[in-house]
Amino acid sequence: MAVLTRIPRGAIRLGIGLQALAVAIIFLAVNYLGFENYTRLDFSRSRDILLSTQTRRVIREFQKPLSIVVISSPTMFGPATQILGDVRNLLSEVQYSGRERVAIEFVDPTRDLERMRALQAKYKFTTADNLIILDYDGHTRFLNIAEMADFDMSPVAQGDEPRLLAFRGEQVLTGAMIALLKPETQVVYFLQGHGEPALGPGSQITALIDHVQKQNARVDVLSLASTDAIPADAAALAIISPKFDLEVREEALLAAWLRVHGRMLVLLDPDAETPRLHGLLAANGIIPQDDRVLRTVRLAFATGILREVTGEVQPTTEFTRRLQGVTILFSGATQSLTLDQKLAEKETIQLRPLILAAEEFWGERDYAPNQPGGVRYDDGRDNGQPLAIAASADRGGVEDDRIEVQTSKLIVVGTSQFAYDASATPQGFDFLLSAINSLLDRSRLTGVAPKSVTHFALNLTDVQLGRIALFTMVLLPGIAALAGIFVWWKRRS
């Protein structure tokens, strides 16, 4: 016969208490870990919530509090009213990324009259609405909210609101924050006079110029035919796809400038005959090769030649480490680059490959079209892997490029079509802007740059709208009704 042992009530209470305490401790521990260790993900199609790596790096550069004041009223009529929600979402991400570094205030000028008068007295402005004020360490920047988006103004003629095309608020805001960190505006000159794409209206590199200017850099043109020296305010010089060679005097000017801390970006046109320009680059350790980077692909009934090169960014410098894993598609002709290590050791030049062609590509020397025997890799004649298509040369620098010293810097790319509007890609612009920021000694501000968020709209005709209404209001309910009648009839029978 089993004997039942009664458990004292005190022991039961103690056990229940310990269980409740354990549950409370586990609950608090899980919440604490979840609060301290979590990941924010953006599953939206356009990914318009997630900040770019460059924006996050810029925010981390602020050592003192950054004040952002948004002056806007939802009751005011104007294009800016359409993007107030996007602006708030953007600033909430900036607040999250900056935390104690960023203080954001929203002011409604139609209600907060006293606060508006205090702001106008402090910052000396007259605009009463749709304004963002950035204040940092005694420096101030003003942004017009309406300029943070692109609008189609044609509907205004019919009395409708402007149509939103794209929101580029992060680009504008990041440029303003860079301007606060680097109040001095640096000048990037673009060389002209050798068949390079012109600047100004109708330029083939309008998007590149626009992106450079958003990095708080001023863009200007330089013609060496009318000057005896590189301008003293030149922070960097860009040579984009020259079709004709340098003159002897121009080559000497650029060579002398590079030896005394010049900064230069060169995008080559492989189809152009430019031996003096090639000699200038070779004198700094980067030798353009007389080849074309390509690969063969098997087709159904033949073997094709792929001349669009896939380039992989290498983590060899501070700015390319932040682009590690990025692949860039280079359209048009591309030539490879060889690094002269013997010259580098002799003249204290740090040579680094920045972009390597994907594994299947090689540098074909017999690249003339319609080769009788076709194209194939010839070991000993063609240039094999690893195949550099972009490289940098720092004269007088140190091996660790995170240490910024006053050196001459040269970045060369063996192609140029990816800088043109017709062939531009976001990845290509990320590399170009990071390269230019590196030349301007802004490597800490490099990374994947912010992009415009395009808004899509379906323009349907009356006939299409009628078909949609017929399908949703008649056909779908009718099918559901017929299915119900069929089920009722089966049950009755």
Average pLDDT over residues 465-478: 81
Inter-residue contact 177 to 224 (CB < 8 Å): no
Whether pLDDT at 403 is above 60: no
**Cα 462 to Cα 469: distance, rounded to the nearest angstrom:** 10
Query: What are the b/e assignments for 79-103, b being 16+ CB within 10 Å?
Result: bbbbbbebbeebbebbeebbeebbe
Query: What are the b/e assignments for 389-425, b being 16+ CB within 10 Å?
Result: bbbbbbbbbeeebeeeeebbbbbbbbbbbbbbeebbe
Give 464's DSSP letter.
H
Domain boundaries, the chain: 53-175, 184-449
Count of CB atoms situated within 10 Å of the CB of 342: 8
Average pLDDT over residues 219-226: 89
Query: Is it true that domain 184-449 has CATH number 3.40.50.880?
Result: yes
Question: What pLDDT was estimated at residue 427?
Answer: 86
Q: Which carries the bigger pLDDT value, residue 156 or residue 345?
A: 345
Give 472's DSSP letter.
I
Round the CA-based radius of gyration of the chain to a whole number and report it.
31
- Between 143-147, 157-161, 475-479, 483-487, the lowest mean confidence (pLDDT) is in 157-161
The mean pLDDT of the chain is 82
Question: What pLDDT was estimated at residue 238?
Answer: 93
Question: What pLDDT was estimated at residue 376?
Answer: 79
Nearest-5° angle of CA 265, CA 181, CA 40? 90
Q: Which carries the bigger pLDDT value, residue 42 or residue 201?
A: 201
Q: What percent of the chain has pLDDT over 70?
A: 87
- Between 208-217, 258-267, 436-445, the lowest mean confidence (pLDDT) is in 436-445
Domains 53-175 and 184-449 belong to one CATH topology = no
Q: Which of 48-52, 205-209, 486-490 has the highest mean pLDDT?
A: 205-209
User: What number does CATH give the domain 53-175?
Assistant: 3.40.30.10
Average pLDDT over residues 393-410: 66
Whether pLDDT at 307 is above 50: yes
**Cα 70 to Cα 50: distance, rounded to the nearest angstrom:** 20
Cα–Cα nearest to 292, from 330, 244, 242: 330
Inter-residue contact 62 to 136 (CB < 8 Å): yes
Whether pLDDT at 286 is above 90: yes
Whether pLDDT at 63 is above 90: no
Question: What pLDDT was estimated at residue 4?
Answer: 56
Q: 């050196």: which residue's tokens?
A: 407
pLDDT in tens, 172-196: 888 788 878 877 778 999 999 999 9
> Model's pTM, two decimal places?
0.69
